[in-house]
Amino acid sequence: MTTLLRNIGELVTNDPRWGDRFGILHDAALEWSEGVVTWVGSDSDAQSRVSNATEVLDAEGRAVIPGFVDSHTHIAFAGERSLEFAARMAGTAYSAGGINTTDAATRAATDDELRELIGGRISEMRAQGTTTVEVKTGYGLTIEHEVRLARIAREFTDHVTFLGAHVVPEEYVGRTDDYVDLVCGEMLDAVDSFVTAIDVFCEDGAFSVDQSRRILEAGVKRGLRTHIHAAQLGSSTSVQMAVESGVASIDHGTFVTDVDVHALCKSGAVLTLLPGSDFSTRQPYPDARRFIDAGVTVALATNCNPGSSYTTSMAFCIAIAVREMGMTPSEALWSATKGGSISLGSPLLGNFEVGSLAHIVELDAPNHIHLAYRPGVNLVRTVWG
Ligand code: NIG
């Protein structure tokens, strides 16, 4: 089946062959077949494609963008922590310790309950234009429960990340190094067949820089992609260590230093900013302008989790990034699509060129600027792919 979508008011391709890296076309058309983009061009040139198409659709001048790539989520959890959020809004600081609360609720849930929760969150995301979701484990923290989360998450997405090193579970308090041994050894062995990447929360109250290095190295030995939660609550040498170890992305980066920026530029690692967390933890927003101007590749993701960022909306993150972090609407959209695909190492996602995956979102808006200009409004009209 070949579909030709015509009369697109604005088509964001993220393909630099159309000018700059955003590759924005006006009065455009897009063709796809069996889930793959087969043609991109102007609507007038699309006339010659009509006879090839099984169906021809009319976008009536609306904007069309690549589906969002949400490259950092923790949606494999049960329970919620709204009271913790309310306490924070009254002045209590965010700390890593709340993860254990969700850990207990998640361990208590059945497989089917977890399936329903994860599936429900993915549906909520899709209705808001997200077509690719990375899911981390990290609310199990025993071999049995981390494997369970990885296995169930894998039923929903190809992008499952092992985050056994999310926090030290209560059973291991005072024995963090023993827990790191478990994560790098038996636990990693057990989850290996379900995951494509490994991650670690490197922060006071979670894992030290040296412990995090061991975890990343264990992942590299397995051929996994590596990511790190770093500079979320303060600065340390975590970003430099991670860059030296060859991470695909540094996530959070609220307290990234100039030395870190330099290291990031040299390495090409992605800096994934998570504005929903800074919103929900009342932290300062990182200055994305500073990173982009320095040449860092910036991605945006929701970080959907019950503690620091309970949102499934990439558009909400785009709106914050534009209003509070110095990004232009085009930069924010690029980061929420192509930036995420680079972080995940999936070049066929996040853009429209011949051969890209046909993950297509039609907005009820004339251009992508509306994503930030109309905050809190779900502008998604149709999702394909
Ligand atoms: O990315 N920083 C670590 N993990 C999550 C928070 C998880 C939680 O508080 O439950 C984050 O913010």
Give the distance (Å) from ligand 1 centre to CA of residue 167: 9
Strands 270-273 and 249-252: parallel
| Local structure of 257: helix, strand or coil | coil
Classify residue 58 as exposed, middle or buried by CB count within 10 Å of its CB (0-12, 13-18, 19+): exposed
Task: Write the residue with the smallest CA distance to atom 5 of ligand 1.
Answer: 308
Q: Which atom of ligand 1 is nearest to the CA of 72?
A: 1
Taking the C-alpha atoms of residue 328 and residue 368, their distance in angstroms, rounded to an integer, is 11
Task: Write the residue with the smallest CA distance to atom 12 of ligand 1.
Answer: 308
Closest CA to 130 of 197, 75, 56: 75
Radius of gyration of the chain (CA): 21
Alpha-helical (H) ranges within 90-110 are 99-108
| Local structure of 339: helix, strand or coil | helix
Contact 209, 243 (CB under 8 A): no
Q: Which atom of ligand 1 is nearest to the CA of 167?
A: 3
Q: How far, CA to CA in Å, does 305 sit from each of 4, 186, 312, 343, 376?
A: 37, 26, 9, 19, 19
Is the C-beta atom of 99 inside 6 A of ligand 1? yes
| pTM over the 0.75 mark | yes
Distance in angstroms between the alpha carbons of the first and the last residue of the chain: 13
Neighbours of 125 (CB within 10 A): 24
pLDDT tens sequence for the chain (385 residues): 999 999 999 999 999 999 999 999 999 999 999 999 999 999 999 999 999 999 999 999 999 999 999 999 999 999 999 999 999 999 999 887 889 999 999 999 999 999 999 999 999 999 999 999 999 999 999 999 999 999 999 999 999 999 999 999 999 999 999 999 999 999 999 999 999 999 999 999 999 999 999 999 999 999 999 999 999 999 999 999 999 999 999 999 999 999 999 999 999 899 999 999 999 999 999 999 999 999 999 999 999 999 999 999 999 999 999 999 999 999 999 999 999 999 999 999 999 999 999 999 999 999 999 999 999 999 999 999 9
No. of helices (H) and no. of strands (E), the chain? 16, 16
> Which amino acid type is present at position 179?
Y
| Local structure of 68: helix, strand or coil | strand
Residue-range domains of the chain with CATH: 2-67+350-384 (2.30.40.10), 68-344 (3.20.20.140)
Q: Which atom of ligand 1 is nearest to the CA of 77?
A: 10
Q: Which two tokens stand for residue 2?
A: 């070949």
